[in-house]
Structure 1
Amino acid sequence: MQSTESGVAPSTNGTRPRTMGFTEIKSWLRHRHPMLYLDRVLDYEPGTRLVAALAVSAQMDAIAGHFPERAIFPASHLSQAFAQAGIILFQLSTSRLAEDELTLVGTMNSRFLRIVVPGDNVVITVTADRVMDDTFFFSGRAVVENKAVAAFRANLVRRKVADMGEQWW
């Protein structure tokens, strides 16, 4: 597959890329500042893949203490951005979450290959592997300047809030 200047390969269905801005992304996720990481969806094809962008800034809450003398974007936050891209693709591939539903990460395997630092523009590509009942299996990778920084494989489960038991807080 060829990639464009933005690093996004043309849609596999031959159409122009489908995009989402930050405001639309917020309509697909329950996350909010400081835990909302995706800045833009560069392309998606329901049931197949989603490509998202994350611009790492020195002003991010996650960077403030990690580490003051040499800032590094935490791998756990990169995992969260990957999960958020998966949550959007899950909904696009099935249906939107109902008001009384949440998605939870069932499992996640990750491999981190390079550090991510302020100024990096991370492109996250997630691919739908399969949907089984209320479980979504997906995989993907994160790149900076066409160099892989991480690879992931995970699943998400859709649950009703009431089925999660009594709230302790």
Structure 2
Amino acid sequence: MESPIRFENVDINTILKTLPHRFPFLLIDRVINIREDYSGIGIKNVTVNEPAFQGHFPERPVYPGVLMIEGMAQTAGVIGILSVTGTEKPRAVYFLTIDKCKFRKPVMPGDTVEYHLTRTGRRKTMWWFHGEAKVDGQIVAEADVGAMLAD
């Protein structure tokens, strides 16, 4: 049985209070359906105004895969930080690992990317998640990511 939804909709204002990331490197717009520290879905609305499109690629803009992996990590960070009660200030979230990374389809301006993260392990302040980036229900990228919270 799945755990109950703890946070149904984490908006951008809450994300800004939770993560230390800022423009141009805040790569999620909201997080929905967080179940304890187990799972959640990050949302990224990709627009042609993304700074990465100036060089990737001006003639045919494709959202960089590495930014999708970072979006997965930021989603995992929100899930992890909000699961720690009493957290009110941005905490440092450090990448530990990226494994089994695959890019399956290009993401273009106008796409909405959903980062589906499911926890696969936890040890003290370290979390490991399996992430799938989806556009219109189809997997466009996937990876296993690990992160650590620090003050």
Deviation at 1:33, TM superposition (A): 0.4
Q: Structure with the greater relative contact order (CA < 8 A, sep ≥ 6): 1 or 2? A: 2
Matching of residue 141 in structure 1 with residue 132 in structure 2 = yes
Q: Which is further off, 106-115 or 95-104?
A: 95-104
Q: Give the aligned partner of residue 167 of structure 1.
A: none
Q: What SS class does the counterpart of residue 104 from structure 1 fall into?
A: strand
Paired letter, 1:58? V
Q: Does 1:57 align with 2:47?
A: yes
| Structure 2 stretches lacking a partner, 5+ long | none
Identity of aligned residues (%): 25
Say yes or no: does 1:131 pair with 2:122: yes
Letter in 1 for 2:15: I
Q: Of 94, 97, 110, which aligns to 1:119?
A: 110
Alpha-carbon RMSD: 2.3
Unpaired stretches in structure 1, ≥5 consecutive residues: 1-11, 161-169
1:3 alignment counterpart: none
Question: Which residue identity does 1:154 align to in structure 2?
Answer: V
Which among 73, 80, 102 is matched to residue 63 of structure 2? 73
Structure 2 residue matching 1:19: 3-state secondary structure: strand
Is 1:150 aligned to 2:116, yes or no? no
Q: For residues 39 and 100 of structure 1, what CA distance do their matches in structure 2 show? A: 16
Paired residue secondary structure (1:136): strand
1:94 CA drift (Å): 3.2
Counterpart amino acid of 2:119?
Answer: A
Letter in 1 for 2:113: V
Aligned partners of 1:17 and 1:85: how far apart in 2?
13
The structure richer in strand per residue is 2
- The alignment's TM-score, normalised by the length of structure 2, stands at 0.89
Shift of 1:17: 6.8
C-alpha spacing 1:92/1:144, structure 2 compared with 1 (3 Å): same
Deviates more, 1:91-100 or 1:106-115: 91-100
Divergent runs of 4+, >2 A: 12-17, 92-101
State the one-letter code of the partner of 2:69: S
Letter of the 1:61 partner, please give it.
P
- Selected match of 1:102 from 88, 92, 114: 92
TM-score, normalised with respect to structure 1:
0.80
Deviation, structure 1 residue 127:
0.8
- Deviation of 1:76 after TM superposition, in Å, equals 1.1
Q: SS where residue 18 of structure 1 aligns?
A: strand
